[in-house]
Amino acid sequence: MDSFNTGSTAPPLTTRAPNVDTLRDAVSKLEADVKSKGVTLSGRIIHLCHYLPIVSTLQRTPQPDKSIPSPPGTPEHRPVDAEQHTTEKAAGSAPFSWHLTPRRGHTAMHSGIRSLSATHKQVIVAYTGDIHAHAPGVTAPAIVGGGAAAPGVETVPMEKLSSEEKAGLGEALKTFKEEGGQEYPNDMEYVPVWLGDKTARGHYDGYCKATLWPLFHYLLWQDVTNEILSHDGDFKAYLAANLEYAHAVKKIYQLGDLIWIQDYHLLLLPKLIRQHHPDAHIGLFVHTPFPSSEVFRALPRRKEILDGMLGASLVCFQTYSYSRHFASSCVRVCGYETAAGYGTGMGGVGVTPGQSTAGGKVGHLGIDVHGHVVEIMHCPVGIDADRVEMDSRRPGIKPKLEALRALYQGKKIIVGRDKLDAVKGVVQKLKAFEKLLLEFPEWRGNVVLIQVTSPALSDSPKLERQVSELVAHINGEYGSLDFIPVHHYHQHIKKDEFYALLSVADLALITPLRDGMNTTSMEFVICQQQVAYGAGGAGSGVNFEGDVVKESSGGVISSVIEGVKSAVGSVVGTVNTATGSVLPLEEARAPSPLVMSEFMGISNAMSKGALQINPWNLGEVAASINHGLTMDAGEKKQRHELLYKAVTTHTTPMWAGVLVKSLLEKVGGENTAHQTPVLDRALMAERYASAKKRLFMFDYDGTLTPIVKTPSMATPSRATLTALTKLSEDPKNVVYIISGRNGDFLDEHLGHLTGVGFSAEHGCFVREPGAEKGTWSNLTKTFDMSWMAEVEEIFKYYTERTTGSFIELKNASITWHYRASDPDWGSFQCKQCLDLLETNLVPKRPIEVLVGKKNLEVRPIAINKGEIVKRLLYNNPDAEFVFCAGDDKTDEDMFRALCLLRPSVVESQQVIMQPPVSAFFSITPNSTPPELKPVELIIKPDAVFSTAVGLPTKKTLAFWHDLSPREIVQSMLELVGEGNSPDPGLPPKDGEPIDQAATKTN
């Protein structure tokens, strides 16, 4: 327990740090700096969310003999006390109108998004949610409390909406403005995503809520269902829904847009957007917790989800631990490696390295995805503190607050508000309250728990029954005829009632088992600030706006009062029955303490002020409640000061601003540092057509075929074979595949292509075009290979100590693989082995050590793919066109060999090439080497197309880039006139099928 000096009075806090205006200035300067580096920025931000923040209700005129079936609606948040916005359109001869109202829920996220309208144009792309339709003559609201359709209102299947009605909603959204919000220079633009009913339910009810949500909250599926779930059908719906979002973005995307994707509903979307827009600036924010890799790996489609997320430039989480879990999953599940991030100040404004800020710490983790570094950071969302402060002074709150205080005069009030969801810890809260009454009997009859549980997005009858039984048990055990210790209300609560409960509470009890963010805890702090200090400073007390109004009927407060009256009789002497107002009860008091779970996204920021607990430890929770209820005023004020500072620092405008600033820093730091242009197919076709001789050199794995988990499964596609055949049949072309594969594999899958030349094992073996299968020239036959036995002994030593590792013996090289080992231990052992080899063998033997993807390879010195490229250039000096493609570190040797053809080198001079070292490899000892002379290369620099497969940000020596093997093969088909074939049998798209893994033998 923290100790506090209670001898001083804490003044009201009025500062906001860091300042939002300062952050906006930093963003503006950063944008100018990024633009000065040649990067296009449109000044627009596209946000992709699950739901539009708007409920759409259709009003149709009567149509005889026509009825619309009403399938169950997708559970969703609904508006409360909202103004309607109506737009009328004509659908043929039948007029219709759209009624738009704000959607309840996700207030914090949308508040942050709206705040960006101060500096940027904004577009929200999201699913419409269920479309409701009024029956003829019905004008009541479309929905009632809890999200159910009101009488006379039906849910319209998406398939039953006409194109005119869909277009009408698009027009209505263009003029929609939320009432009561802060005015900004830029209006919000809304783009609806239309999901079919089957897709919407499979996506949300199926994969999101039944698969991802339990897993992310550490509830494996057997914990929440009695049957083993099949995830495949729901995953198809999840993918289909994400594809619909990607298509919607494709229609509106402008070069230079910033794209932010929100939450776990759209985890495949970053990669899908990246496939359409390789240069897009994409960020992903995950609002939920992210589990440890040991839990996440239970997900059947784990790699597809991670690869989808890694399509973003920047992935952000609520806490550092969640970001660390994500990085660990990328390493352990996908086999990727961590890398240093590019950000210099993503955490906030004007911070120094290592300094804790609103967005975490400067200096971020990254994941190296085939040469492209994806940044990982954390930044809690928070709440819109200014708006909550304004709402907490609404005139309807004061009478409700005073009624509650009068009702429980002389008693302490504990307040809790949660969704009735297993992860919210309502059961643990009730058990802890019972523990309090058991172990601290002085509180019996002197403390009440008012627990409001709003309906969850998916019903749980078992949990509802368990909570009801616990409430009945506690009230039966510790209640009496004149006292009820627990008041439980399972219903939605109006804003005035909610803030009245938070204001009157002597203690707030927040006990989620896992939570991305909990706004109740932060709203409680704001309400306590108003009660303790108001707007007038310390000691000024409650300062509500407007006159006192009568208590409205039908709400939670009325239910509390009526429930107590029915149990203990009327409340005497507190309510003025003549005026309906409630008599004031007490002067300003010290702000009440907060008891909160340590498993919340905001817990770190609020750790110093709150009484943090483990909700599973009932004794600890009970003791913390007792401490909070008996806390002296000085400690309350000091704790509240720390809480208020945290809440007013971690606000939604700050969160949104930090996300934009972080993405811009990523754009300016990495993208401008190295941006390889996409392969210019038109230029390549022009140079190809005019060349009298052409040289093609391809890597295999990751270039002509996608990388797969099992190397033996990396077989060429029909289109790949067609392209290679057509290219090699042209007498002007010389075609080679330069691979790390052994000769047997290349003979088996490609050996029938007699017009193609091959290099196996990174240049150790060569099969010339026209040679029969198995006819390989060993370029290392004159080498002293005795070192292989020594290296094998060293590799055996580390294999025995590294579970899952193995040795691969080739004819001229030896490789130690650890991709099946624990990533951290394997990486450590690799470094130890590398150090041993470089210290003891490399100085004494003609070898070099290559660190690959989860492997360590030792090969003869001067044997690499680059030497083969030099050999081919030397043997074909009259080539007027060169195409060379590869995807990983070993292929950089090829690109390095082609660097002598860069424009800066050959613009005004001839290129004279000396005989390459590899030209002498096959000469036997004691024989006379042939006289090899330098040759002049006639190729022009703009006819050299060295192409790296991957993203444009990938670090490479290549002149060009293309995204995947699919694009490489398609380019070759276009060169040979097969580009328009209806079914060319291309390699699958990057991630399609999505279960590919990142291992290769290049």
**How much is the pLDDT for 926?**
53
- One-letter amino acid at 755 equals G
**How much is the pLDDT for 491?**
86
- Angle at 120 (CA atoms; ends 114, 126), nearest 5 degrees: 55
Residue 285: pLDDT band (50, 70, 90) is very high
**How much is the pLDDT for 982?**
61
Residue 1001: pLDDT band (50, 70, 90) is very low
Q: Which residues contact 850 (CB under 8 A, 6 or more apart)?
A: 856, 857, 858, 859, 889, 890
Q: Tell me how crowded residue 566 is: count the other CB atoms within 10 A of its CB.
A: 9
pLDDT digit string (tens) for 325-360?
Answer: 999 999 888 888 888 765 543 343 333 333 333 333
Torsion of CA 262, 263, 267, 270, to 10 degrees: 20
Q: Identify which has the larger pLDDT, 550 or 757.
A: 757
Over residues 460-466, the mean pLDDT reads 86
- 98 DSSP β-pair partners: 58, 87
pLDDT digit string (tens) for 90-103?
Answer: 434 447 788 888 88
**What is the chain's mean pLDDT, rounded?**
82
CB 904 within 8 A of CB 943: no
**How much is the pLDDT for 482?**
85
Q: In the structure encoding, which two tokens stand for residue 791, read together?
A: 């290296």
Backbone CA torsion sign across 719, 892, 734, 951: positive
Residue 361: pLDDT band (50, 70, 90) is very low
**How much is the pLDDT for 928?**
54
DSSP letters of 279-302? Answer: T-EEEEE--S----HHHHTTSTTH
Task: Give the separation between CA 907 and CA 911, rounded to whole angstroms.
Answer: 10
pLDDT digit string (tens) for 191-215?
Answer: 999 999 999 999 999 999 999 999 9
pLDDT digit string (tens) for 663-701?
Answer: 999 888 765 556 788 999 999 999 999 999 999 999 999
Residue 918: pLDDT band (50, 70, 90) is low
CB 850 within 8 A of CB 833: no
Residue 830: pLDDT band (50, 70, 90) is very high
Max intra-chain CA distance, the chain: 121
Q: How far out from the chain centre does Cα 89 lie?
A: 38
Reduced to 3 states (helix: H, G, I; strand: E, B; else coil), residue 365 is: strand
* CATH 3.60.10.10, domain 787-860, yes or no: no
**How much is the pLDDT for 211?**
92
Q: Which fold has domain 385-649?
A: Rossmann fold (3.40.50)
Reduced to 3 states (helix: H, G, I; strand: E, B; else coil), residue 343 is: coil
Closest CA to 233 of 265, 196, 198: 198
- Angle at 489 (CA atoms; ends 484, 494), nearest 5 degrees: 125
Q: Do domains 385-649 and 681-779+863-975 have the same CATH topology?
A: yes
CB 133 within 8 A of CB 139: no
What are the residue ranges spanned by the domains of the chain?
Answer: 55-104+131-194, 385-649, 681-779+863-975, 787-860
Residue 454: pLDDT band (50, 70, 90) is confident
**How much is the pLDDT for 457?**
59
pLDDT digit string (tens) for 107-137?
Answer: 889 999 999 999 999 999 999 999 888 665 5
Residues 681-779+863-975: name the CATH superfamily: HAD superfamily/HAD-like (3.40.50.1000)
CB 948 within 8 A of CB 967: no
**How much is the pLDDT for 187?**
79
- 259 DSSP β-pair partners: 46, 282
Reply yes or no on whether the pLDDT at 452 is more than 90. yes
Closest CA to 755 of 777, 728, 737: 728
**How much is the pLDDT for 82?**
45
pLDDT digit string (tens) for 234-284?
Answer: 999 999 999 999 999 999 999 999 999 999 999 999 999 999 998 899 999
**How much is the pLDDT for 42?**
93
Residue 922: pLDDT band (50, 70, 90) is low
pLDDT digit string (tens) for 26-85?
Answer: 999 999 988 888 888 999 999 999 999 998 888 876 555 544 454 444 444 444 444 455
**How much is the pLDDT for 149?**
56
Q: E strands along 183-309, which residues?
A: 188-193, 258-262, 281-285
- One-letter amino acid at 373 equals V
Reply yes or no on whether the pLDDT at 902 is more than 80. no
Task: Give the separation between CA 592 and CA 508, rounded to whole angstroms.
Answer: 8
Over residues 502-521, the mean pLDDT reads 92
Torsion of CA 238, 244, 245, 247, to 10 degrees: 140
